[in-house]
Amino acid sequence: MKKRALLFSLAALLILSLAVGCSKPAAEGEKPAEEPAKKLELLYATGGTAGTYYPLGGAMANVWNENISSINVTVQPSGASIENIKLLATGQADVCMAMNNIADAAWKGEGEFAQPLQNFRAVGVVYPEVVQGVALKEANITKPEDMKGKKVALGPTGSGTQAATKVILQAVGMSESDVKGEYATFGDAVMKMKDGQLDAAWNVIAAPGAAIVDLNTSRDITMIEIDDETLERIREIYPLVTRYVIPGGTYRSVPNDVNTISFQAVLYVREDLPEDVVYEMTKVMYEKNAEIGKGHAMGGQITIDKALDGITTDFHPGAIKYYKEKGVM
């Protein structure tokens, strides 16, 4: 019995020594191993899945996550510009894309914003946003005035597209009540146009717009032009708007150049995001734009020489630090 007890004691001591040995305590003067730092989770509000914001935002998020070890960015679809700024202001999102004119209105408390919202900051321009009105050829719509009495998708409620189409109608002496308006996403609008349930639809997307290309594979279309006189009236309301020409041939059944307008798609963040995080996000966005471009074609248009264009709100200190380093601010 004594021998057995001794054997059990020796076995217990051996197991204990092995367990202690496996724990590899820090040597004298050596710091204990630290657990990996927890990543900062960021929610990126984009737009509808058929537009540009959502897929481009996904490409941007992937590149940030691959190159910045301290963050994890998750993309969420949304109603786009107006909703996105409100999501930032209420802390329901950390990052967003929005049209520069919408952010300007929020900053001043104008238009869709009952009071100023200034608890967000600009990072920089992502790409030019093209206001595109597309119509079925048989609807005979080539200018905004032709939409009177027609079935037209004016953009999702609370979107920059809806705000822009409202101003376009106003510029030609019309209102939303003059058309049979629907407040649908562009994806839904295109599906209805394919079936002949809508005559026209508006969206603010990059050109060429994938949804318009898709529509034009099965239906002949026309693009709705905005002439110089209408542009000047729009500028009285949106001074930040610029002329944009969609080259002929961009869409199969539109051989001629199309005069329209554009704004800037800008990246905005919560004002209280850490300076070092926003610095890294800004740096990666402009220096890894080719990688973003592999995920979405518009990534190639993210260039530092246009980073400050048309932005009227305050910039985040992290972005300012990067721009000063690069000599553009």
Residue 204 lies in a domain: yes
In 3D, which of 316, 311, 308, 319 has the Cα closest to residue 283? 319
153 and 242 co-located in one domain = yes
291 and 237 co-located in one domain = no
119 and 145 co-located in one domain = no
* Residue 35: band (very low, low, confident or very high) from pLDDT cuts 50, 70, 90: low
Cα-based angle 168, 174, 175 (whole degrees, multiple of 5): 85
221 and 164 co-located in one domain = yes
Name the token pair of 196.
């002949």
299 and 184 co-located in one domain = no
Mean of the pLDDT values across residues 226-254?
A: 94
Residue 195 lies in a domain: yes
Looking at the 3D structure of the chain, how many domains does it have? 2
134 and 239 co-located in one domain = yes
pLDDT of residue 34: 59
Residues 176-205: tens digit of each pLDDT: 999 999 998 898 999 999 999 999 999 988
Name the token pair of 302.
């993210």
72 and 178 co-located in one domain = no
The number of CA neighbours under 13 Å toward the Cβ of 33 is 6
Residue 279 lies in a domain: yes
Residue 106 lies in a domain: yes
212 and 175 co-located in one domain = yes
Residue 27 lies in a domain: no
49 and 196 co-located in one domain = no
Name the token pair of 240.
């930040």
Strands 40-45, 95-99: pairing is: parallel
Residues 127-167: tens digit of each pLDDT: 988 999 999 999 999 999 999 999 999 998 878 899 899 99
45 and 118 co-located in one domain = yes
165 and 140 co-located in one domain = yes
139 and 247 co-located in one domain = yes
- Domain boundaries, position 60: 40-127+266-326
pLDDT of residue 32: 56
